[in-house]
A and B are shown apart, each in its own frame.
Chain A
């Protein structure tokens, strides 16, 4: 009996969590403008979405492109910066190390809205004209600490002598970094990259405050504006479904890979 309630509780929670996603998924296969009205099965919204993508003229499609491009640039740059920063922080000692690690953690717990407003004020103060560049810079800023956090444990696991061993065998510091350090840090860098990518992808507050007035839209700001105009564009439903499916598949792949690596390590 006790077990039954425990099970029921878990399922109840899961249903609560996933019901909205499932709803969007189901209603992406019908044509009605208002969600909740089932007007028969149709893939018209999907074909609209893809034909819009082909023509490349719809505001929704340009928002999707902006989102992906910004996320890619921000994730790539913050992976680079974050890895370098992690190596530097790791080699600090004592109180300085603790202080910098603490300072690295603050932006992550800081509410987005505060990060957004303060960056907005900073860009105005510096006289930057806001637009694409400022959004990318802002995203790099809040993504980098996550990369640092993901790379640090890999540095701790690494035998510090391997870097010296590379130098000893004739590698210049640059070669030692490329051929010995980076390969050992790679798993941390990849998970840092993925985390940065997803953080950038779903950011609203920071983007909203740093995009300026040139009409730049990412997916989140587009949906926000669209919803205020009265009702969501129906094509958003298949788009959301596709994004969710992609992320689900990515997660499954990552988890399977980790399980395989763990098993391999356990077999040694």
Chain B
């Protein structure tokens, strides 16, 4: 703990609830004075991370440090940080003044000083003259201000904010975002902010930590995260994007949507499968096809206020989302260009499903709790542990759960230009990745079936 700039450090922290891993070996340094946002979909572990820092939960393993001291087991009332809760959590039996003075009274601060500090903080959140009001008579935005004042009046070193704006309407939210940002700059203390709203995260933060399924996906500045997402999850979660399958031909040359493109990425090897991300505003669209890298036909065009959002079918059969200030009529032929620096190439997290299973007899294998028919594997007997590889497109999804060998639920949908890449959650909580042309909705209950010939078996530990 020599790093003086670090105020909070999480080191290899894991946490499970009822056998389900919510945080999986997380390490994170939070610098003094920064505005850090934990961003991710619900259930990604961001709130649990915040509760570990505030002290409402303790890690199963790993350590939480504050100012270099281990605080993993310290109760919340001994920690010098304060929280703004999602639903305000104001004390309904106390008025505005007593709500804000609550912490100071407990700390036995002299009456006169309490009064001065409460007045000052009320002014800061523009709530002067409200001290005698009943908190339940205030609007949502006003309650939120009181909640912020109640936390700030204790002069914490770190302010934790758990989706503080989620209960406010859109306009109010934008105003509060600006105010929070100003408060952060004025106070100079560390803000740790939890949200599932990527726009809010991009607007407010110095640093964004993108989380999914209990793991940190990427840490970086808003610009880093937006322009250089490290994987398809981050690209899909932050902003709009076209995520496409590609092949890295060689350094600085990538093939996708049936064309070779020049890019700026190196070190992905030769002829390796990759994911390519292109932001919709980074595709240049024009009414002529000469000089274009590729061409296509406009399928739809919607006015979005500042820009138009268009879906264009490329002649090579891929659908792309494009944003431009000019509108192009549906049905018109257009040419398109992408600058090398706007092509973001990412290593694929996986190229097929790799599953561990057990042979039940020579023609059947138990995978993820379902018994699948398979081709016999030479030398394998019932009870042998095997590894099965199944390509994404070889998994068949059926309308009814009972029709499949396994039942599952569509969990994540990613459009890849000419097909959907789905993450399917099985009954046991395992993930299967499926490529399909069919349209499914998130939450659809599906049966999972795999053809015997598509299951490629090998013995485990036979190397």
Contact = CB atoms under 8 A, between A and B. Distances in A.
B82 A168 contact: yes
B55 to A, nearest CB: 8
Interface residues of A, number: 18
A161 B89 contact: yes
A172 B77 contact: yes
Given A170-B107, A184-B93, A161 B82 contact: no
Contact of A164 (B85, B102, B151, B154): B85
B96 to A, nearest CB: 15
A120 B60 CA distance: 50
Interface string B64-108: 000000000001110000110111111111000000001100110
Interface in B28-78: 54-56, 75-77
Contacts of B82: 168-169
B107 A165 contact: no
Contacts of B75: 167
A170 B77 contact: yes
A183 B106 contact: no
B137 A268 contact: yes
B117 to A, nearest CB: 13
A184 B151 CA distance: 21
B150 interface: yes
A165 B55 CA distance: 12
B136 A268 contact: yes
A22 B137 CA distance: 45
A170 B106 CA distance: 7
Contact of A168 (B83, B86, B93): B83
A165 B89 contact: yes
A105 interface: no
A165 B91 contact: yes
Contacts of A184: 91-93
Given A168-B76, A184-B92, A161 B106 contact: no
A168 B82 CA distance: 6
Contact of A165 (B83, B106, B136, B137): B83
A169 B77 CA distance: 6
B56 A164 contact: yes
A255 interface: no
Contact of B106 (A162, A164, A169, A268): A169
Contacts of A167: 55-56, 75-77
A180 B91 contact: yes
Contacts of A236: none
A139 B150 CA distance: 44
A239 B92 CA distance: 42
B103 A169 contact: yes
A171 interface: yes
A166 B137 CA distance: 21
Contacts of A47: none
A204 to B, nearest CB: 39
Contacts of B106: 169-171, 175
Given A161-B85, A161-B86, A164-B56, 20 more contacts: A161-B89, A162-B90, A162-B91, A164-B83, A164-B89, A165-B83, A165-B90, A166-B91, A166-B102, A167-B56, A167-B75, A167-B77, A168-B82, A168-B83, A169-B151, A171-B77, A171-B106, A172-B77, A175-B106, A268-B137
29 contacts: A159-B87, A159-B88, A161-B85, A162-B89, A162-B92, A164-B56, A164-B85, A164-B89, A165-B90, A165-B91, A166-B91, A167-B75, A167-B77, A168-B54, A168-B77, A168-B82, A168-B151, A169-B77, A169-B82, A169-B106, A169-B150, A170-B77, A170-B103, A171-B106, A172-B77, A179-B102, A180-B91, A184-B91, A268-B137
In the A-B complex, the 4 residue pairs with the smallest Cβ-Cβ separation, listed nearest first, are: A161-B89, A169-B103, A165-B89, A183-B93
Interface of A: 159, 161-162, 164-172, 175, 179-180, 183-184, 268
